[in-house]
Every structure is written in C-alpha cells, then in structure tokens.
C-alpha cells in the first residue's frame, strides 16, 4: 500500500468508524432517556453486533496495513495526521488483544446491566443489580489484563480514562488532600448555623425549572442549534460530534439546586465538545482528551463560575421573579451563601465543593479493592455504608441513596471517578491562570461568558485529543499543583463561613 493509498484508507476508515460510533451513541442516549423499559434486550443485541462490526473494522488486515504504512512514513505526515495514526494504532493494539466474542459479550452485558441498574435504583434494591455488577467488574478486570497483562488491572482502567494515571498517583493526590480537607470541613461544621439553605427546599414547579434550564443554557452561550437538553435518572452529556451534543438533567420539585448545577455542570462538558477544532471534529481526535480535563471544564463551570457571587447576581433575579413568592425574603448575598453551603451529604452529584472529593475517595477505594479481589459485589453496600460513616460521618438509609446512586459502574466506567477530583483541582489552577488574562468576575457578572469560553477554546477545547492530557495541562498551567486547589477551597469557605 502506498502512502497516498494509506491516507485515502484512513479517511474512509474515519468516516465508517464515526458512523458506527454515532449510531451506537444514539442508541445509548435513547436507552438512557426515552426508550421503553422493556427494550434493553433487543438494544443489547443490536449494540453487541455493532460493536462486533467496529471490532472487525479496527483489527482488519486492511486497517493494519494502512496503519503500518502510515507509521513507516511518519516523518512525512503533518502533526494532525501523525497524531491520528498514533491514537488509532494504540486503539488497534488494545483491541486486538481482546477476543472478539468477549468484547461483544461485554458490550451486550453493559446494555443489559444499565437497564437493570435503572430498575434497581428505582426500587432501591441492590440485589437485582448485584449479579450484573459482579460480571461487569469481572469482565472489566479480564479485559484490562488482555490489554496490559503485566500491569495491575485497575491501573490499566485508570489509564483508559486519564492517560498516565495510576494508583500511585491517585494516592499521592488523595492522601494529603484528605488530610488537609478534614480540618477545614470540621471548622465549617462548627459554624454550620451561619448558612441556612432551607429556602431552596420548597416546592419549585418542574415546568418552571425547565424554563430555567433554557435560561442557563443561553447564559453559558451553548449553541442551541447543536445542543439539546433531555431528562434521565443520572445526568450526563454525550457528544456525537461538535454539531450534535446532548446534555441531560433530573428535576426534583423540592430541590431547586439539583437541576441548576446539573445543567451548568453538563453545560461545561458540552461547551468543550462544541468547540473542538473543525479540522479534527469528525476524526479520532474529535473529542475531549481525557476525563480529568473534561471534568475540569464541567467542575469549573459548575463551581468556579456557577457558585460565584457574580453568577448568582445574574440568575437570582430570574429565580426570584419566576418562583415568587418563594424566594422573596432571600437576599442576593444569602443566595450566594446558600448555594455554597457545605455539609456532609449522601449524594455525590449534590455534594458541595468542599466535601465532594471525599465522595470520590469512597468510590476509588471500593473499585480498587474489587479489582484486587478483597471485595465482591455482594460486599459493596456494606462497605459503601461503612466508608460513608467513616469519611463523611453520615448513615446511608437505603441502596438508592447509597451504592446505587451512580450510573458509572453499570456503564463499565470503572476507573472514571478519580478524574472528578483531579479535574476539580485542575479547575482551580485554570482559574489562577485565567485571572492573569481577563477579569473573570467582571465577565461573569455581565451575564455573557463569551470571553471565558474563548479563553478555554484557544487553550483547551480546539485541540481535542491532539495532545496527551498532561501535556495539554502543562501548556496552560505548567506543573500540576494540588495545593492550589486547597488554597482555593480554604479561601472560599473561610469567607463564606466567616472562619
């Protein structure tokens, strides 16, 4: 195969692979939002067969010849094509190690498992999901061993979500983080009476909340021609391309902030995907580079922007008017403190910035012990509840608000959770650097996030997967410094609680 033939084959491969990913993504989104509950089995069959087609395409002799030809001419390739080839070759090398029947069976398992998880969560009955979850962990561990037989399986899973991440790096981050956060959390507990958030736990009609979601999407400056919002049990964002990005939320009549910050969080993910460079948008490089970088964006918009005084000044007048008279007695300053209230809680997605990482540490420890054979799925509810008492000092009343609350394990996203905490730490450093270039507070208070979005587009978003995540982060911030995250939290919560 000549170099020109290989380039042509690469273009054809990308089109076919994109079409497959697009179709499978649409089926997943449909299953998580509006598909009938009884449709999981047939969807699992279809997705299993489509994953077989994708597997065969990735590992076919023609694809291998195309990749090897391009690799042999690497010095003649432009930077984008060279990166595409290296990423595709890495994906091929991983895929070829997994027996095709096991790969197809695993995709079908995840589809069925996700449907059972929804039912189990609705009924708060972990026993329904337990056998599926055990199979998901067992299959994930075996696939990790196929990919990297000489590496700890959980390290392989971590690396799949954040290249270069392993348990050693996680421990180096989490151990001192917990040591420094706990004293601050205890100080906040001692001053808990200074912030009263009961005004946000009245009845807020869902129909008005839906209008508010549209208002939020406009403030974020999401392109509504290419981004819609749906409803699901566990909010998520999915991107089929920069021209079709979908966010979801979950409304609760008596919890206004739940959907508020789900929309802003998922909106951060969507902004990233909508601003991938046109030159790579439909290729192997046309998505966010890693989960920690992705979560740094969602956590930045949710917390750094969304829980700022300036953002409150933009959204509070709307809330006060549309939900009158519920918030008539609340001042703008009180609203700011309310949305920054910190207290140990059951639900990760509802957790405040200060205690959030403790929720992640619980999941990290459980995943790691499952992969090391110390636990089985049957042990998870008891260990989950024990760690919530130890780390957060609260009792878990049922499976729905405990071990069943997240969708990640049912989707096979084992090793994802640490990215949330690392992404939160990244966000604090992005803020430090951004402040050197623009007046962040002024931009937010204007009600237009255009310049903040442009800042991220130029430094993060447009590059997609063109660089490794560590390289991309260092291009913007230099060395990763977790202490910046601690300092950010200390400053913010000392001020909120007048410590």
Q: pLDDT tens across 387-405, in order?
A: 999 999 999 999 999 999 9
What's the pLDDT score for residue 243? 94
User: Three-state DSSP class for 241?
Assistant: strand
Arithmetic mean of pLDDT, 310-329: 97
Residue 491, pLDDT > 90, answer yes
Say which residues have a Cβ less than 8 Å from residue 198's Cβ, sequence separation at least 6.
none
Handedness of CA 494, 190, 199, 352 (dihedral sign): positive
Residue 214, pLDDT > 90, answer yes
Arithmetic mean of pLDDT, 63-80: 95
What's the pLDDT score for residue 37? 83
Handedness of CA 94, 100, 101, 103 (dihedral sign): positive
Of the chain, the percentage scoring pLDDT greater than 70 comes to 100
What's the pLDDT score for residue 40? 87
What's the pLDDT score for residue 233? 85
- CA–CA gap between residue 30 and residue 123 (Å, rounded): 22
- 364 falls in which pLDDT band (50, 70, 90)? very high
- CA–CA gap between residue 346 and residue 58 (Å, rounded): 42
Buried b (16+ CB within 10 A) or exposed e, 225-242: ebbebbbbebbbbbbbbb
What's the pLDDT score for residue 184? 94
C-alpha dist (Å) from residue 272 to 220, 285, 309 = 12, 13, 24
Domain regions of the chain by residue span: 3-150, 167-496
What does CATH list as the number for 167-496? 1.10.1370.30
Q: Which residues are bridge partners to 228 per DSSP?
A: 246
- CA–CA gap between residue 118 and residue 410 (Å, rounded): 9
Around Cβ 246, how many Cβ atoms within 10 Å? 21
Q: Which residues are bridge partners to 245 per DSSP?
A: 227, 239
Peptide bond connecting 137 to the previous residue in cis, omega within 30 degrees of 0? no
**What is the rounded (10 degree) CA torsion for 323, 206, 272, 236?**
150
Say which residues have a Cβ less than 8 Å from residue 264's Cβ, sequence separation at least 6.
216, 220, 301, 302, 305, 306
Q: Which residue of the set 162, 266, 295, 353 is catalytic?
A: 266
Around Cβ 156, how many Cβ atoms within 10 Å? 22
- CA–CA gap between residue 154 and residue 371 (Å, rounded): 6
pTM: 0.93
Buried b (16+ CB within 10 A) or exposed e, 306-345: bbbebbbbbbbeebbebbeebbeebeeebbbbbbbbbbbb
Residue 411, pLDDT > 90, answer yes
What's the pLDDT score for residue 246? 96
Provide the 8-state DSSP code for 392: I
pLDDT in tens, 337-350: 999 999 999 999 99
What's the pLDDT score for residue 137? 98
The number of helices, as runs of H, and strands, as runs of E, in the chain is 20, 3
What's the pLDDT score for residue 234? 86
- CA–CA gap between residue 284 and residue 96 (Å, rounded): 18
Handedness of CA 402, 357, 450, 448 (dihedral sign): positive
Place of tokens 């690497």: 74
Of the chain, the percentage scoring pLDDT greater than 90 comes to 95
Mean pLDDT of the chain: 95
Whether 266 is catalytic: yes
Work out the angle between the directed axes of helices 309-322 and 332-339 (0-180°, nearest 10): 110
Residue 245, pLDDT > 90, answer yes
Residue 464, pLDDT > 90, answer yes
What's the pLDDT score for residue 486? 94
Residue 132, pLDDT > 90, answer yes
- CA–CA gap between residue 38 and residue 350 (Å, rounded): 30
Do the beta carbons of residue 364 and residue 412 sit within 8 Å? no
Look up residue 11 and give its two tokens.
């273009």
Do the beta carbons of residue 290 and residue 469 sit within 8 Å? yes
Arithmetic mean of pLDDT, 22-46: 90
Around Cβ 277, how many Cβ atoms within 10 Å? 17
């Amino acid at each position: 195969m000549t170099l020109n033939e290989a380039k042509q084959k690469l273009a054809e491969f990308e089109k076919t692979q994109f079409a497959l990913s697009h179709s499978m993504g649409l089926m997943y989104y449909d299953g998580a939002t509006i598909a009938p509950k009884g449709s999981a089995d047939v969807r699992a069959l279809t997705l299993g067969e489509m994953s077989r087609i994708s597997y065969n395409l990735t590992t076919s002799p023609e694809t291998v010849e195309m990749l090897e030809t391009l690799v042999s001419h690497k010095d003649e390739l432009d930077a984008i094509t060279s990166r595409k080839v290296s990423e595709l070759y890495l994906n091929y090398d991983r895929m070829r190690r997994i027996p095709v029947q096991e790969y197809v069976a695993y995709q079908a398992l995840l589809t069925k498992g996700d449907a059972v998880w929804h039912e189990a969560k609705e009924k708060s009955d972990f026993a329904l999901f337990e056998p599926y979850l055990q199979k998901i962990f067992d299959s994930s561990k075996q696939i990790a061993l196929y990919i990297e037989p000489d590496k700890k399986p959980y390290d392989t899973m971590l690396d799949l979500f954040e290249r270069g991440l392993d348990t050693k790096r996680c421990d180096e981050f989490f151990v001192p983080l917990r040591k420094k956060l706990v004293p601050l959390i205890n100080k906040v507990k001692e001053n808990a009476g200074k912030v009263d958030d009961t005004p946000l736990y009245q009845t807020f009609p869902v129909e008005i909340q839906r209008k508010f979601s549209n208002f939020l999407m406009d403030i974020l400056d999401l392109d509504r021609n290419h981004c819609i919002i749906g409803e699901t049990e566990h909010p998520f964002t999915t991107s089929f391309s920069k021209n079709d990005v979908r966010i979801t939320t979950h409304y609760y009549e008596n919890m206004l902030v739940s959907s508020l910050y789900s929309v802003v969080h998922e909106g951060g993910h969507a902004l990233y995907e909508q601003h991938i460079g046109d030159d790579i948008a439909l290729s192997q490089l046309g998505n966010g580079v890693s989960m920690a970088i992705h979560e740094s964006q969602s956590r930045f918009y949710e917390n750094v922007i969304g829980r700022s005084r300036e953002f409150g000044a933009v959204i509070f007048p709307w809330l006060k008017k549309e939900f009158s008279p519920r918030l008539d007695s609340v001042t703008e300053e009180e609203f700011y403190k309310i949305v920054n209230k910190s207290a140990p809680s059951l639900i990760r997605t509802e957790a405040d910035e200060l205690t959030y990482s403790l929720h992640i540490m619980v999941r990290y420890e459980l995943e790691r012990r499952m992969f090391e054979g110390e636990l089985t799925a049957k042990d998870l509810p008891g260990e989950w509840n024990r760690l919530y008492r130890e780390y957060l000092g609260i009792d878990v009343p049922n499976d729905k608000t405990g071990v069943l609350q997240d969708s990640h394990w049912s989707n096979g996203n084992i090793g994802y959770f640490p990215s949330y905490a690392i992404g939160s730490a990244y966000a604090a450093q992005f803020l430090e650097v951004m402040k050197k270039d623009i007046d962040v507070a002024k931009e937010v208070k204007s009600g237009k996030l255009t310049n903040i979005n442009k800042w991220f587009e130029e430094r993060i978003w447009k590059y997609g997967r063109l660089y490794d995540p560590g390289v991309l982060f260092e291009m913007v911030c230099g060395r990763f410094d977790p202490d910046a995250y601690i300092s950010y939290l200390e400053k913010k919560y000392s001020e909120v609680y007048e410590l």
